[in-house]
Structure 1
């Protein structure tokens, strides 16, 4: 079976299920095989009741001394049974599953596996799976894949489809040179693809994952290297000289630039005035003042008779940048015209914006990825700025820069990455670091708590809202999952609506919502119409709300530190004191050690370097910098050593054989061309 065939070619997947897979970005068989598990469920040995821990999924073996009871409370039916051993007693509860009463018989040995909770002072296992001893023994110590799901598509359906796809697919030709595979102990590609989904143990999983992560880094870095070589030869058509109007504006600003901002601005202006095309990354912590650097650079282009473009990841952020620019220009008598371009604008609004851009009535263009659509025609585009670069990737950055006659390129990122890794990941760019926060910015107060603190946290949020402020609550998941124990946005919103008075407006936001819905929610939150926003990490780079003072992060242990820091950066943007409450859902000692780094510091670069020291191979389970660059599996912190090794090999191979003409590179060359071609095709859709 060809990997290009649709998933509906698999048995049991009709049109309806195919559309559910499409929601996950899985359209072809190849897409399915590269849709990797987000976690693994390990069936551990059953333990005595006395050793069960709250809020964890565990197994216990026991015989029912009497048949289960069927209880009714209103519309809810509960099948309840009690089991006991020498170490304690445990209640089993199945809600709205009346058939379980007949399925579980007294006097028979079963293994019950489920989430352990404490209610009214005693332990209870909710919705436990039931196994015969023989069936559980067959699963014990195995690792079952857990995939990201969507409503209507269960983990079992995805697992079944994966098994079928792996059995029926055409095997891939090995493309990584044998010398590299031996040197870095890399699995054969087909072995890796099979065992990332169905490993028999952790050792096998790590071996498979290592190969796929190395490949992700290798291909990405080949792309970066090609871009670097292309750009090093580029001479600039745009010598943008410093203008007196910029100096006047800087004198009128209500604050002085920090030393780090001054240094960065000098580097940017020097690049723009030089003979070569600027390709620069500005790395600056949340709130370090990157935006004013961008505005001054865009004005520099405008006062030199050219256009500048600013591309950001969300429509709400684009609108906020556009409106703050308009306000700044009006207040300071600046006659340059900014224009907004976003995907949700009407056809008429877009046409008018395109006309202004093409006629050069617009000097500065602000927007989302809509800026790289074919219909946008620029006039003397001399500067391209992308904000939160990791949301776009190398290819989109290149597409936007191709819109002009080799314009200067400035990339801004608030993702704190240690300099050693940034040099590798952004190898095609020079790097400026803004490592200083503006004076008078209040530090966010942090606390790491366990789940027992929730009632106090809710009371605190209510108090902040009553004082006129707003709050974010972050959950790792959109909807409940049958396999992953973590808070989800949909159910959590219902919980908060019950916990707060009706006067407090609670809404939710997640990445699976339609763009218009997301924008509407973000705009309402920014306007103060929503008091508490329950969201996934989709808000990580989405919106600037100075009135939001509380960030509560559920299951904080499931996020990497750099991502937690990004989320925390959504608050602390106004004059009021802000707070970040991180709820540790599993209470583990290692997790507390990691989260304590967040508790101690608000410095993103310190946090990133400490995160790097703490990471080990075991951290692939559950903790990941999701959304980082273009990687499905690789994590720049956990896999930092592999990233460095891949970088060394890419440079060594391309230095020795730039065109990959050697016989040993024939398959690799084809794979690289396919990889780069796929990305170009994806970006031009």
Structure 2
């Protein structure tokens, strides 16, 4: 329904512009999908005689008097009786205007907090007028009440929660019959789903909390179904036969593995086999390699590069930072066969170095090219790019990844992440990619011991740190912020840095790393830390991705209660990469919340990133309908990827069936791009969908 909001009574051009800029609402359909942020249960109407001070209540009765009272300021007092007692509704400001709304003998519902002052009263209550014999189909009281996201600008123009309730109710009354069903009747019956029109009514004005959840589940099914439909369609289209023939061979990877000075785990070998199978198929590879921190993803990815290079084609490895590019470059030189020519491209290269590198790439004299986003510059031209590895792929935008792919003729793509993704999330977000998992850690790697201490034990932690420093080890010291906050009483990284440097470890080299430091300075600090020139690195979470410092075997995290589970696990993964036993020490206040205590407990008991990511999704993404929903990982509006596992599985199954029955996939994709399925997209509003279709 592409009907502009100006078609709604009372919405002119000025208010329409406010709705557009502040809430993204331009059409009637936008408004229907502007879902409540939470609900208040006002369905229980309480006898006035049973109302007590400071209690949130909903009461109803007949207006017995309406009076303007002149004290320090004019106020309006509306006395309401239900036959058991009297409750007064009191209004300050605009009292004269409000007086015209109330008439003796009218029946009304009031909701708010009871005060006892010259009798029972509610100051500025929410209210609804009702018929004495009505079944109380109110908007603001006497039912489950939706609360909407609003801003100061919206509120000034009448679009607070009360205004949105009134507006949505009007739209539902006038336009709900025009809402088209988007899912086949057979699927609705199969899974016991309500119709889309009933779901939209129920999500805004549910009869019960259970009704709201039933409506959310239907809208979540829509969201997941069409999301899966689109990305599975793209997967089918992207899997078109390659425009060239592959030389079938698995020996290149086998020979490479035999030259390694270490043994691969079973998971690594399985992942290499999966990549090899892709590279021997007539279709381009589109694969996600998931591996826990320290599981050895890089060597697996390089095995694929060896296969591609053995066929005379080039490989590229793109990483988010120069320090990571340098690390991968050094690793490649150590483990790849000597005949593979590897070069490094970074933004800090001199003009002469850059020119030489570009010539090697374009002439085909560079087999493996490693670099940051500098790889996507127009001056970088490959002779025959056949294999792309993107490390920490979530750090790159779709446009950046796309630019790199255009530098080759249908190159194979392997994206890697060291952030384990829960199965439900992986299935949903990366349905267009095949997935390989590496859960095992190398056999010679000692697990990191994780300990938790209250802040009162910090002195003892300092003593332990000094012992490890005397042994020649290095230490990460992490905090969640870099400046004092008026709202959160946390020590800043700057203060901690000064304290450690000037008071506790005056004989040691202490450095500070945080998000406001320019990138070139960050890289310089990390390089010095890698070389052992820095003993203690005080940092915010900017170190969490990919840094490999084998000599650093202690990670201290202050205010660990402020971090998410997955974030803590990633930080912990920065240690435990050398031959010595490593430790992660979590410092927290004496008293912490139950959720924070649970997070810390999980981390001390498990070092499996996949288990931790599932727990993190459950803790951060489950949400509550009464209360603010917390989407820890995505911006889906209805689907909860922590708990809606059945919906995800069922919706994906039905999407796969629908795709398998399509006659012309290219035509279908073209229809989607031209908004034929606009009504489904309205239920998605998901950045990944829009980027995939662009």
TM-score normalised according to structure 2 size: 0.63
Gaps of 5+ in 2: 1-20, 25-36, 38-116, 125-149, 161-166, 184-192
Q: How far apart are the structure 2 equivalents of 1:164 and 1:656?
A: 51
What's 2:611 paired with? 606
Residues 1:234 and 1:393: Cα distance change in structure 2 (over 3 Å): farther
Contact 2:477–2:539 under 8 Å retained in 1: yes
Contact 2:636–2:684 under 8 Å retained in 1: no
What's 1:424 paired with? 428
Q: How far apart are the structure 1 equivalents of 2:182 and 2:580?
A: 59
Pick the aligned partner of 2:535 from 521, 531, 534: 531
Q: How far apart are the structure 2 equivalents of 1:280 and 1:340?
A: 24
Q: How many residues align?
A: 528
Residue 30 of structure 1 deviates from its aligned partner by 8.3
Gaps of 5+ in 1: 1-27, 32-39, 41-133, 140-157, 193-201
- Residues 263-313 of structure 1, C-alpha deviation per residue, up to 9 Å, x if partnerless? 221221121122111122222222222111122221221121110111122
Residues 1:637 and 1:528: Cα distance change in structure 2 (over 3 Å): farther
Matches within 5 A, 1:256-655: 256-329=263-336, 334-392=338-396, 394-585=398-589, 586-612=591-617, 617=622, 636-637=641-642
Matches within 5 A, 1:170-189: none
Q: How far apart are the structure 2 equivalents of 1:176 and 1:647?
A: 24
- Residues 132-187 of structure 1, C-alpha deviation per residue, up to 9 Å, x if partnerless? xx9xx999xxxxxxxxxxxxxxxxxx98789789989xx99999977689768999
- Residues 490-547 of structure 1, C-alpha deviation per residue, up to 9 Å, x if partnerless? 3332333344222222222233432212222222222222222222322221411111
Contact 2:623–2:630 under 8 Å retained in 1: no
Q: How far apart are the structure 2 equivalents of 1:420 and 1:442?
A: 30
Larger Rg, first or second structure (1 or 2): 2
What's 2:92 paired with? none
Q: How far apart are the structure 1 equivalents of 2:349 and 2:476?
A: 27
Q: How far apart are the structure 1 equivalents of 2:440 and 2:22?
A: 48
What's 1:145 paired with? none
Residue 322 of structure 1 deviates from its aligned partner by 0.6
Residues 1:374 and 1:664: Cα distance change in structure 2 (over 3 Å): closer
What's 2:257 paired with? 250
Q: How far apart are the structure 1 equivalents of 2:261 and 2:608?
A: 25
- Name the SS for the 2:410 alignment partner: coil
What's 1:57 paired with? none
Residues 1:393 and 1:641: Cα distance change in structure 2 (over 3 Å): farther
Q: How far apart are the structure 2 equivalents of 1:635 and 1:588?
A: 23
Contact 1:505–1:529 under 8 Å retained in 2: yes
Residues 1:161 and 1:669: Cα distance change in structure 2 (over 3 Å): closer
What's 1:119 paired with? none
- Residues 425-459 of structure 1, C-alpha deviation per residue, up to 9 Å, x if partnerless? 22112222223222121111111222222222222
Residues 1:536 and 1:217: Cα distance change in structure 2 (over 3 Å): farther
Contact 2:476–2:555 under 8 Å retained in 1: yes
Q: CA RMSD in A?
A: 5.0
